[in-house]
Amino acid sequence: MPKQYEAERDALIKAGKSEKAAKAEAAATWNKQHPDNTNPWLREKKSRRKSGDSPWLRK
């Protein structure tokens, strides 16, 4: 896991959150700050997608 995520998670646990809640909040924070870390299928423009077309199967 990214060190920033782990640091955020550990800080939330020390602040009194449960481990499950701390992981969820740290993951949400990480994903919000790093929008490029998404599924490549979702990053593409919808106009370029075709039904049944997968970015992993392209040549």
* Whether the predicted model's global pTM rises above the 0.95 cut: no
Buried b (16+ CB within 10 A) or exposed e, 31-56: eeeeeeeeeeeeeeeeeeeeeeeeee
Q: Which residue has the tokens 């106009």?
A: 47
Which pair of structure tokens corresponds to residue 21?
A: 């809640």
Q: What does the pLDDT read at residue 30?
A: 87
Kindly report, residue by residue over 5-59, the tens digit of the pLDDT: 999 999 999 999 999 999 999 999 988 887 765 666 665 555 555 556 666 665 5
Which residue type, as a one-letter code, is found at position 6?
A: E
Every domain of the chain and the residues it spans? 1-33
**Helix, strand, coil fractions of the chain, as percent rounded to 5:** 60, 0, 40
